[in-house]
Structure 1
């Protein structure tokens, strides 16, 4: 039986700061990530049986089912995953709180008869997940972001700006990724942007679908670099508008 090649959407997650917590705590946070992701997939109406899931030790890698619109790996999946991680963190101790990095890409991958999935798109996915802009975004603010995600330029072009509900261009910030031999433009997203004013899907888990309150309108500011972006504190959350400038959305206390 010969291998087959199919175009698929890909998602990789990694738990930031997982090292040094000990075996028991590592297993607890891995379980928390699986639970949060499982719930987010259900809400996004993605059948987990159709999603190829690979445990990577301190994270996971997902291969979406064939034919899934690429926007399906963005909304409501990412905002809901962020909301569920935030809910876990409210109840967790310091050693079991989660900060998660996620990378999203798509391309033609190889399916071998034994179920192995491989291909060059996974190389780009790994580079995005390990990139400096994403690592910095994941620790933005005093407590870190529950979820920071990065999209490849290809994925961004195929989804954002095409009119999909919840995918406003202002929710993403351009970043240059250089990891080893990989060099490309990518796009950052993390809670606080218009796609999820509550750091989630617009509702809290278990809220019965009640919408969250919208945040305040953004306050104008001058252009900011990605480095300035990720140094945002709890006094304000930075997001980008479509033309590439960055502005600050202030919290109630700001």
Structure 2
């Protein structure tokens, strides 16, 4: 019999990874994996406790059962941003990183054969592929090192509870519409108040990295939330078209992803 467990999810995707060639792609994939592992460690989280899915030009992390959801935001996001900035300062133009991240949580189906699936994966893929998040990564002269988007549910369960480091004014409301998925979400980007509180040597207040040429991202305009239709749990969750499909089966990962920058 399948079982259902409530899990937090974090997906990261390297913007504009296509066209860099196989060698450069492997370099930036390795850089992202290292940055994620180091950021998790700095946030007192063990990467070995997470189920990690390699999505080709990114990673999907399924958090262990019982992990407080706020731990996927603070200090993890500022720590990850700090490490991406550090990588970019030393990297050439063709190996610099701009990363999109999406965070969600929900009931996941685990089948006896080890397959994990469910509606939360679909919502996560839609958030990662959304226009507000893509636009956020393009802000500034050289693009944003890290821009993240939270589902409404995740926002309410973390930022809405007033946990330390999660100031509500660090997040900007956005209206997400990707194919049939429509929902309110929340953006986090460099320059927001949460960033300088990470204690990672970032600029205080401005969110700008000295010498990087990056300018703070401009906040998205708030929009009215759109209704979201209920979704049934599926054996394989797909975000069709220019999106992502995630599935985990006995340790193997099945991914389809078409990067649009």
- TM-score normalised to structure 1 length: 0.80
Deviations 1:86-141 (A, max 9, x none): 10000000110000000000000012233321101000000000000000001101
Instruction: Tell me the distance in 2 between the aligned counterparts of 1:164 and 1:50.
Output: 23
Match of 2:12 in 1: 13
Counterpart for residue 139 of structure 1? 138
Distance 1:67 1:122 in 2: 18
What's the CA shift for 1:50?
A: 1.3
Paired position in structure 2 for 1:71 = 70
Q: Distance in 2 between matches of 1:91 and 1:7?
A: 39
SS in 2 for 1:27: helix
Establish whether residue 4 from structure 1 lines up as the match of residue 36 from structure 2: no
When residues 82 and 234 of structure 1 are mapped into structure 2, their CA distance, relative to the original with a 3 A threshold, is: closer
**Runs of 5+ consecutive residues of structure 1 not aligned to the other structure:** 205-211, 217-232, 246-254
Q: How many residues align?
A: 216
| 1:213-246 CA-partner distances (Å, limit 9, x unpaired) | 6326xxxxxxxxxxxxxxxx95655458xxx69x
* Length-normalised TM-score, structure 2: 0.78
CA contact (8 A) 1:3 1:110 kept: yes
Distance 1:93 1:235, change over 3 A: closer
Judge conservation of contact 2:6–2:65 (CA < 8 Å) in 1. Answer: yes
Partner of 1:121 in structure 2?
Answer: 120
Gaps of 5+ in 2: 207-212, 224-261
Match of 2:154 in 1: 155
Q: For residues 137 and 41 of structure 1, what CA distance do their matches in structure 2 show?
A: 23
Given candidates 170, 184, 204, the residue that maps to 1:214 is: 204
Alignment of 1:124-203 (within 5 A): 124-197=123-196, 201-203=198-200
Q: How does 1:49-128 map to 2 (within 5 A)?
A: 49-128=48-127
Q: Which runs of 4+ in 1 moved over 6 A?
A: none
Contact kept? 2:133, 2:147, Cα under 8 Å: yes
* Structure 1: distance between partners of 2:59 and 2:142: 23
- Relative distance call for 1:202 and 1:237 in structure 2 (3 A) is farther
Q: Is the 8 A contact 2:189 2:217 kept in 1?
A: no
**Contact 1:99–1:144 (CA<8 Å) still a contact in 2?**
yes
Could you list the per-position Cα deviations for residues 135-157 of structure 1 after superposition, in whole angstroms to 9, with x for gaps in the alignment? Answer: 00011011111000000001001
